[in-house]
Chain A
Amino acid sequence: MKMPVPDSGVIARRREIVEALRAIVPGEGVIVDENELRAYECDGLTAYRQLPMVAVLPGTVEQVSQVLKACKAMGVKVVPRGAGTSLSGGALPLADGVLLGMGKFKRILDIDYANRCVTVQPGVTNLGISNAVAHEGFYYAPDPSSQIACTIGGNIAENSGGVYCLKYGLTTNNVLGLEMVLMDGTILRLGGKHLDAGGYDLMGIVTGSEGLLGVVTEVTVRILKKPATARAVLLGFPSSEQGGDCVAAIIAAGIIPGGMEMMDRPAIHAAEAFVHAGYPLDVEALLIVELDGPAAEVDHLIDRVEAIARDKGACYARVSKSEEERLAFWAGRKAAFPAVGRISPDYYCMDGTIPRKALPLVLQRMQEMSDRCGLRVANVFHAGDGNLHPLILYDANKPGELEAAEAFGNDILRLCVEVGGVLTGEHGVGVEKRDLMTDQFDEADLRQQQRLKCAFDPDGLLNPGKVFPTLHRCAELGRLHVHQGELRFPDIPRF
């Protein structure tokens, strides 16, 4: 994975750039000390590290605007950062770039129950929003597993998901309004407390744009009333194929569970050894199906799900009888990543989405790849929406294993695309999957996406080196190829 070659001319101007930033953000808001910069050298994708040239921590929207404007004027690249929990390297700094940390934007600005929304600064954590409205029985639905730490600004950048998004949507389905700053310093407001922003759905493009289009400075999200009841059922299957069939049959029966998660044998064993959730160890696939809503509905559906599971060959079924038991069912799944971390020095988490029907094929091919490269793999799976999280086990201290794990991961993602799926369901492309984009998209698709980038950031200064494998100049992308007189369409019916 190569990052854009650092511009030595920019690095040589570091002192001048730091001065310019200090004129905007006084005091400790501009960080130049190497030891302090170390805190920003990587995000959740720790395999890649790079010290930024300088870090700046603005405290107001006006400062963000001025920082971006100044950087644009100086031709300096900017990498925005929230809590730095990205699993795809979205906040990986650049040696010749300014790291723009949004950590000071921590205020909850407005809680509006009458309009069922909350307005916050982007540095507020995902869980912080839910906590702020919990006493009124509300919550914010998307729940990435990093929700204690990750910020809503980062959630916007990555269009974060979580366990409950089949029923309640990703970030993009729960955002009502944004304030953002473009690279030229322009402050824009999109949407608000009403539904559907007027004009083009720019909020839809900005959400999930991985920090390449603008810096979000304020977010309005909708909040939901907590479901009256939630109960979970734990289902074990002798094969992943039967588990997959059961998921399909539940959905075909018209049931959209709040959560529906699958784990394979290695993941079940790792999780059970870690948290003793009471998982059965003699099954190949374990399914957690959570039904939420009014008690009458949950009771009705639990029965139906159990019947479907029996019909699909479940060899184990247990319904949670108490809130403690429901949470215990989830404890194993939620601890799956650290659990795998206990049985292997390092692990590499992938994030492809597949059409669910391809699951048996994908698991089988993944096992063949695992056998070939000698690295084990454990699978956790957002079964409802087909989002796979294969965890590749490796040891970074063994020469070549990181590279082997990455190659294995890339093969898995290519496989996801091959069976009709996509490279990433919720973690983002970042630097990690950047060079695989050409497996999912062809040249014309990527050119059009990059033209959109040009509409927001014509100099390509915001978070370059992420998402797109090849950087084109906007002038080149914008060129229109018209072949005067050569084009005809004799075959098209005319009236």
Chain B
Amino acid sequence: MTITTLKPETTAQVTDAVRWALSANEPLEILGSGSRRGLGRPVQAGHALDLSGLSGVIAYEPEELVLTALAGTRMDLIRAMLADRGQHLAFEPPEGGTLGGLVASGLAGPRRISAGSARDHTLGIAGVSGRGEAYKGGGKVVKNVTGYDVPKLMAGSFGTLTALTEITVKVLPAPEDTATLLLAGLDDMAAVAMLDRALRSPYEVSGAAHLPAGVAARSGVSAVSGAGGAATLVRLEGFGPSVAARVTMLREELRADAVLGRDESLAVWREVRDGAGLGEGGDAHLWKLSVPPSAGPSTVTAIRRTCDVEAFYDWGGGLVWLAAPPDSGAAIRAALSAGGHATLVRAPDSVRAATDVFQPLPEPLMALSRRVKESFDPKGILNPGRMYAGL
């Protein structure tokens, strides 16, 4: 329903735009490149605030492990710049979009288990609150406890608190080499037990996923699709000699069936990161469940009592990707008895507008979240409804 797009090119213009929206009582949909519009609930706003005009890397100092850029800077540009110096964003976010969109959606990939999420790498922010006030939080150095950690709150807040204008992220050396151990044919329980063993080893596992037979068969990596059933994947990364030594030791310990070299390893973990091979084509909705790792398989079993779902596991069992028929939300959430939360990450707009995309919060927590929202955006003009109805 967006009617007009405002495209500021300076922070001062962002402030003006938000102040105008405030005075006119016109909610704004905050956009970077718009690539993550399918996450969260559709925003009900008559105007869009397009921040893609705020683009450019302000400072990149590889030795200091920090990069500061305007929020609308495209991620492909930042990735290329980091790759030139052998660095990366260690939390392995999906590709595309802008830096602001990446932080706002708080995403992370398979390396979440060892490197953390967007929140762990967002060091500093500047932006304009829903009060039309430009402010900053955090800092531009890797270690800082001065004042509240506002940058963490911005990660995963989906633009509901602040229109971000500038972001400082922690950047780290990219691994020199990578390899993946593959175990074929395990059932979900046995696989997660094996991933647990790998994660309990001292070999610094940086990816631990299990693709049941159906999902593995759809992989574009022939070693995975041809594994002859389910594929359990354990990734080792780092300096060449270190990866080689750990592959040898852990392969023996886990009795792995095969080792995927660098290219196959990179390809299969991209698929895992993006939830590929699940629910494509049909009308299934895609969900991500964050649960205690050991509870991954039993959660899926519980869901299967009422819904016909297809699943695969990342984060050692702690992240369950789920393709489920429409209207499975209640059954999925009812299965989270061990704790955790479920997020609907792919469904038509009309569905996401009418359902709880994010896990509903217990009332005291919801009340606190509302007060936090009000402290930044008392009139609800920034991305209203994107996370929760009425917030």
Which A residues form the contact surface with B (CB < 8 A)?
A: 112-116, 137, 158-159, 161, 165-166, 169-170, 172-173, 182, 186-190, 192-202, 204-205, 207-209, 225-228, 248-249, 251-252, 254-256, 293-297, 300-301, 353-357, 382, 385-387, 420-429, 433, 437, 440-442, 444-449, 451-456, 467, 478, 480-489, 491-495
Nearest 9 CB-CB pairs, A to B? A204-B152, A297-B242, A296-B245, A254-B173, A198-B341, A193-B292, A455-B371, A451-B375, A489-B16
Determine the residue in chain A with the shortest Cβ distance to B130: A480
Contacts of A172 in B (CB 8 A): 120, 149, 152
- Known: A198-B358, A356-B64, A455-B371; 8 extra A-B contacts, CB below 8 A, are A195-B319, A200-B156, A200-B157, A420-B141, A480-B131, A484-B23, A489-B8, A492-B16
Identify which of A202, A208, A301, A382 contacts B239 (C-beta below 8 A): A301
- Taking a contact as CB atoms under 8 Å apart, the answer to whether B143 and A170 are in contact is yes
- Taking a contact as CB atoms under 8 Å apart, the answer to whether A207 and B149 are in contact is yes
Known A-B contacts A200-B157, A256-B172; the reply to A386 vs B358 at CB < 8 A is no
- Taking a contact as CB atoms under 8 Å apart, the answer to whether B148 and A294 are in contact is no
Contacts of B37 in A (CB 8 A): none
- Taking a contact as CB atoms under 8 Å apart, the answer to whether B339 and A192 are in contact is yes
Contacts of B318 in A (CB 8 A): 115, 194-195
Determine the residue in chain A with the shortest Cβ distance to B363: A186
B199 within 8 A of A: yes
Known A-B contacts A137-B202, A297-B241, A386-B141; the reply to A192 vs B152 at CB < 8 A is no
B246 within 8 A of A: yes
Contacts of A115 in B (CB 8 A): 292-294, 318
A to B CB contacts below 8 Å, 27 in the list: A169-B116, A169-B120, A172-B120, A194-B291, A194-B340, A195-B290, A196-B119, A198-B343, A201-B106, A204-B149, A205-B148, A207-B149, A251-B65, A256-B172, A256-B173, A293-B242, A296-B242, A300-B242, A354-B141, A429-B145, A437-B147, A448-B376, A482-B22, A487-B19, A489-B6, A493-B9, A495-B50
Known A-B contacts A202-B369, A447-B133; the reply to A454 vs B375 at CB < 8 A is yes
- Taking a contact as CB atoms under 8 Å apart, the answer to whether A445 and B136 are in contact is yes
CB of A195 to closest CB in B, whole Å: 5
Identify which of B155, B365, B379 contacts A201 (C-beta below 8 A): B155
A91 to B113, alpha carbons, bound, how many Å?
Answer: 34
A422 to B142, alpha carbons, bound, how many Å?
Answer: 10
A424 to B242, alpha carbons, bound, how many Å?
Answer: 35
CB of B238 to closest CB in A, whole Å: 6
A233 to B146, alpha carbons, bound, how many Å?
Answer: 32
Identify which of A202, A227, A356, A480 contacts B202 (C-beta below 8 A): A227
Quick one: which of B11-34 are within 8 Å of A by CB?
A: 13, 16-17, 19-20, 22-23
CB of A140 to closest CB in B, whole Å: 15
A300 to B242, alpha carbons, bound, how many Å?
Answer: 8
CB of B91 to closest CB in A, whole Å: 11
Identify which of B63, B142, B291, B368 contacts A182 (C-beta below 8 A): B368
Q: How many residues on the B side are at the interface (Cβ–Cβ under 8 A)?
A: 108
- Taking a contact as CB atoms under 8 Å apart, the answer to whether A205 and B141 are in contact is no
- Taking a contact as CB atoms under 8 Å apart, the answer to whether B143 and A199 are in contact is no
- Taking a contact as CB atoms under 8 Å apart, the answer to whether B376 and A494 are in contact is no
Contacts of B120 in A (CB 8 A): 169, 172-173
- Taking a contact as CB atoms under 8 Å apart, the answer to whether A489 and B200 are in contact is no
Contacts of B371 in A (CB 8 A): 454-456
- Taking a contact as CB atoms under 8 Å apart, the answer to whether A166 and B119 are in contact is no
Contacts of A295 in B (CB 8 A): 245
Quick one: which of B294-322 are within 8 Å of A by CB?
A: 294, 315, 318-319
Known A-B contacts A385-B143, A449-B137, A492-B8; the reply to A208 vs B339 at CB < 8 A is no
- Taking a contact as CB atoms under 8 Å apart, the answer to whether B13 and A452 are in contact is no
- Taking a contact as CB atoms under 8 Å apart, the answer to whether B13 and A489 are in contact is yes
B244 within 8 A of A: yes
Known A-B contacts A448-B150, A494-B5; the reply to A489 vs B17 at CB < 8 A is yes
- Interface residues of chain A: helix, strand, loop or mixed (majority): loop
CB of A337 to closest CB in B, whole Å: 18
Contacts of B17 in A (CB 8 A): 489, 492
A217 to B112, alpha carbons, bound, how many Å?
Answer: 27
B77 within 8 A of A: no
Contacts of A423 in B (CB 8 A): 146
Quick one: which of B152-167 are within 8 Å of A by CB?
A: 152-153, 155-157, 161
- Taking a contact as CB atoms under 8 Å apart, the answer to whether B292 and A192 are in contact is yes
Contacts of B150 in A (CB 8 A): 205, 448-449, 452
Known A-B contacts A182-B368, A193-B339, A194-B290; the reply to A205 vs B153 at CB < 8 A is yes
B139 within 8 A of A: yes
- Taking a contact as CB atoms under 8 Å apart, the answer to whether B143 and A297 are in contact is no
Contacts of A387 in B (CB 8 A): 143
Known A-B contacts A113-B200, A297-B239; the reply to A159 vs B149 at CB < 8 A is yes
- Proximity string of chain B (227-247) to chain A, C-beta cutoff 8 Å, 1 when within and 0 when not: 000000000001101101110
Contacts of A448 in B (CB 8 A): 129, 133, 135, 137, 150, 375-376
CB of B265 to closest CB in A, whole Å: 18
A306 to B13, alpha carbons, bound, how many Å?
Answer: 51
Identify which of B132, B202, B368 contacts A294 (C-beta below 8 A): B202
- Taking a contact as CB atoms under 8 Å apart, the answer to whether A488 and B20 are in contact is yes
B203 within 8 A of A: yes
Determine the residue in chain B with the shortest Cβ distance to A295: B245
Quick one: which of B346-368 are within 8 Å of A by CB?
A: 358-359, 361-362, 364-366, 368
A83 to B175, alpha carbons, bound, how many Å?
Answer: 40
CB of B356 to closest CB in A, whole Å: 10
CB of A311 to closest CB in B, whole Å: 15
Known A-B contacts A170-B143, A200-B153, A256-B172; the reply to A114 vs B369 at CB < 8 A is no
Quick one: which of B190-213 are within 8 Å of A by CB?
A: 196, 199-204
Contacts of A444 in B (CB 8 A): 133-135
Identify which of B173, B245, B246 contacts A251 (C-beta below 8 A): B173
A491 to B339, alpha carbons, bound, how many Å?
Answer: 50
Contacts of A440 in B (CB 8 A): 139, 146-147
Identify which of A112, A199, A254, A488 contacts B176 (C-beta below 8 A): A254
A495 to B17, alpha carbons, bound, how many Å?
Answer: 14
CB of B294 to closest CB in A, whole Å: 4
Contacts of A227 in B (CB 8 A): 202
Contacts of A226 in B (CB 8 A): 202
- Taking a contact as CB atoms under 8 Å apart, the answer to whether A116 and B364 are in contact is no
- Taking a contact as CB atoms under 8 Å apart, the answer to whether A424 and B144 are in contact is yes
Identify which of B149, B291, B341, B358 contacts A205 (C-beta below 8 A): B149
CB of B199 to closest CB in A, whole Å: 6
Contacts of A493 in B (CB 8 A): 6-9, 53
Known A-B contacts A484-B23, A492-B17; the reply to A254 vs B7 at CB < 8 A is no
Contacts of A197 in B (CB 8 A): 341
Contacts of B147 in A (CB 8 A): 429, 437, 440-441, 445-446, 449, 467
A169 to B296, alpha carbons, bound, how many Å?
Answer: 26
Identify which of A192, A198, A382, A480 contacts B143 (C-beta below 8 A): A382
A380 to B310, alpha carbons, bound, how many Å?
Answer: 55
- Taking a contact as CB atoms under 8 Å apart, the answer to whether A452 and B242 are in contact is no
Contacts of A446 in B (CB 8 A): 147
A196 to B153, alpha carbons, bound, how many Å?
Answer: 12
Contacts of B7 in A (CB 8 A): 492-495
CB of A448 to closest CB in B, whole Å: 5
CB of A168 to closest CB in B, whole Å: 10
Known A-B contacts A159-B149, A478-B378; the reply to A201 vs B156 at CB < 8 A is yes
A442 to B146, alpha carbons, bound, how many Å?
Answer: 13
Determine the residue in chain A with the shortest Cβ distance to B113: A195
CB of B153 to closest CB in A, whole Å: 5
Contacts of B46 in A (CB 8 A): none
A420 to B161, alpha carbons, bound, how many Å?
Answer: 26
B58 within 8 A of A: no
Contacts of A112 in B (CB 8 A): 292, 294
